[in-house]
Structures are given as structure tokens and as C-alpha cells.
Amino acid sequence: MVSRLRWVILGLLFAATAISYIDRQTLSVIAPVLRDELGITNSDYAFVLSCFLFAYTVMQAAAGWLIDRFGTRFGFAVIMLWWSVATMLHALGDDVTSFAIYRVLLGAGEAGSWAACVKAVAEWFPARERGMANSLWGFGVSVGQIVSVPLVAWITIVLDWRLAFVFTGLIGFIWLIAWLRYYHLPAADSDPPAAAQDPPPADPSPPSEGAGYLALLKTRNVWVVVLIRVLVDPCIWFYNYWIPTYLSQGAGFSMADIGKYAWIPFTFQGAGLLLGGFLSDLLCRRGRSLFAARFTIMMIGIACAVPAFLIALDVAFGVTFMAICMAMLGFGLWAPNVMTLIGDAFPNRVVGTVTGLSGMGAGFGGMLFMLVAGRVIEAQGFGPMFVAAAVIPISAVLLLYFGFSRRPEAMAGSL
């Protein structure tokens, strides 16, 4: 029963992730239309994105605590209901201020999504399978982005951009019914819990006993996880939120063209998300330590993102488009392994909190990056921002390699 049900739950985590990215990506797809109809500039758009990231950032730690305190089932249900309503409210937007308010509400709701997914995987899957499990639900990121581009573009062209927010928001209510029907802790079954097939990670001693924020922040590995997300996540979000605008302004794409082609980079990201966890699990099965397996794939992912600096050199559009696709592939390889590393390195009872803290750091970095992006793009075009997104993640790889403790008390050890 446990073996079968955990795959149903993984499917729900995948669906929730896809829904979250459909909801947040809807604004990105229609951004060119809002610029024409409502006079929203790149700087205005960057401000609205930063409002989302502000709420997303501030609420990360609180949402992670909510998941740990009240449980994955109830916590995820609350945040899904919240952000689905917030998505639909975007249909009422008519200026920068209103969109900023609705974006704050959306960010506050979506803040706990990844913490809930990581904790659910830690509850239901043994360590040998968590990389694969995190990849599969993480693949929902790209599926949501892939689906949202043609779907939102079609609704906007055929009906109206306001209805796009209504339709995408309704999807969350359907998911909520299934989640409340199927999710519970594996211990509730008569069979042994799936996650008990492997011993839990050793506690990093005093900090995990209290599970308080201040105690966790005294732990070296917590800071490393937070900082690498500060450095890399904003670069990923830059690609996610600005690709449609870049194709519109930098390549002259119409809304129909965006609907036809803007999904392609997200497909590359999806391939990376699937491969990232699978490959790191494969390395574990071949005798590599947990850290070595995750780090190897993460390093390869960042290397794939480096060629995007070519966009600043005014090369042929085909080359720049391929560089964007490779960067998205690389970021896809990186993302599930960061989440899996958290599940590997910390006991289950604080996984949600640590994920929330790291997401909080990523959000602050993302807010600054988006505000800078809006001004730089207005003044100098997209080139400098693509260079920054190619170079900054390299420092995260170095920090992870030299700063993360692989001592037995801080990691689960070799498999």
C-alpha cells in the first residue's frame, strides 16, 4: 500500500509544482501585452516581480515552520488555497500598484511550496530514491512553464488576458480535492513507512534539537545552503521571468511567436530537472557519497550555464537561443540536487524550516537581481544581465565545495 500510494503522492507534488509555475508564469507571458495596453515599462515590470519576491522571501521561513509545525497535509492545503485565490485576483489588475498587491499575495502563498514538497519526499522516500523523487516533482517547474506559455498566449489572443488568470487559478482548487483525499503520513499505514527503509540522517547535534531559527543559523551547513541559493536562484528566476520579454523586445517576437517558441527553453530545463536527480542517485548507487554525487551534477549544471555570456557579444540569434536553452538545462540539473542535499544533510523535523530559510535568502537575492535587471535592461539591454547570470553561479559551486561540511554528523554519509 505504501509503495503504491507514495507514487500517487509524488504525482500530486509534481502537479502542485506545475500549478505554482503556471500561476506565476502567467504574468510573464502577458507582460508584452501589459506594456502595450497599460503602459507598464521594464522597470515597472521588475518592480512587480520584486514585490512577488519580497512576499515570497519574507514568508519562506514562516511557511517552512508552518509545514513542520502543522504537518505537510494541512500546511500544503492552506498555501494552495491561498495562492489560487491570489492568482485569480490578478484579473482585476489595471495598473502597477494593483498588480504589485496581487503579486505580494501570490508570493506569500507560494512561499511554502518547495518546503512542503521536500518534506513530503523526506517522509515518504528512502535516501537512495530522494534524488529521483525530487527530480520528478521538480520537473513540474518546467511542465508548468511549458504549458503556461502556449496556454496563456492562446487565451490572451482568443479571449482576454484577464481570463487567463481566472482559468489558471481554478486549477489549484481541483488539486486541493485530490490532496486532501490522499495525503497522510506513511506511519498511518499498517505497512512499514517507505522512508524507514534507510536510517535517518544523523542530527547535526545541538542546533537540530531545538529546531529554532537562531540555533539552525549557528550551523555552518545551513549558511552554505542559504548562500548558494542566494547566488544561483536569482539567475534562474531571471531566465524564467524575462525570456518572453527578451524574445519580444530583443528578437521582435509577437505574442503568437512567443506562444510557438518560448516554451522550448523550459523544455530543456525540464530535461535537466529529470536528469539531475536520476544521475546523482545513479552515482550514489555506484558508491559515491551523498555529497559527491549531488555536487558532481550541480557542478556540471553550472558549467552548462556559462556559455550564455555570448548573448552580450551580439552573435546570431540562433546561437543566443541555444545558449539560453543550455543554461536552462544546466539550472535544471542544479535545482533538484540542492533540494535533495537539504533532505540528505538535515533531520526530517527541520527539513521544511531549512528549506524555508534558504528560500528566504534566495528571495532577497532575487529581489535585488530583478530590480537591477529592470534598470540595466532599460539602459543597456539584456546583454549585461545574461553575463551576470552566467558568471555569478560559479561562486556558488566554489562555496559549496570548500564550505560545506561532509563530516558524518553533518551528512548521512556514504550509501
pLDDT tens, 172-194?
999 999 999 888 777 544 344 45
Is pLDDT above 50 for 206? Answer: no
Would you say residue 415 lies in a domain? no
Would you say residue 139 lies in a domain? yes
3-state SS, residue 203:
coil
Q: pLDDT for 280-292, tens place per residue?
A: 888 888 888 878 8
Closest CA to 137 of 31, 247, 18, 37: 18
Q: pLDDT for 16-55, tens place per residue?
A: 999 998 988 888 888 888 877 877 788 888 888 888 888 8
Q: Which domain holds residue 71?
A: 2-184+212-403
pLDDT confidence band for 363 (50 / 70 / 90): confident
For the segment 185-209, the average pLDDT, to the nearest whole number, is 46
Would you say residue 190 lies in a domain? no
Q: pLDDT for 219-253, tens place per residue?
A: 788 888 889 999 999 998 898 888 888 888 777 77
What's the CATH number where 314 sits?
1.20.1250.20
3-state SS, residue 275:
helix
Would you say residue 414 lies in a domain? no
For the segment 57-81, the average pLDDT, to the nearest whole number, is 82
Would you say residue 412 lies in a domain? no
* CA dihedral for 204, 207, 213, 218, sign (positive or negative): negative
Closest CA to 197 of 136, 133, 125: 125
> Which residues are CB-contacts of 108 (< 8 A; sequence separation ≥ 6)?
55, 56, 58, 59, 82, 83, 86
DSSP code per residue over 204-265: -SHHHHH--HHHHTTSHHHHHHHHHHHHHHHHHHHHHHHHHHHHHHHH---HHHHHHHTHHH
CA 2-22-226 angle, 5° bins: 70
d(CA 404, CA 338): 12
Would you say residue 199 lies in a domain? no
C-beta separation of 336 from 198 below 8 A: no
Q: Which amino acid is at 164?
A: A
pTM: 0.70
d(CA 367, CA 370): 5
The count of structural domains within the chain is 1
Q: What is the mean pLDDT of the chain?
A: 81
Would you say residue 409 lies in a domain? no
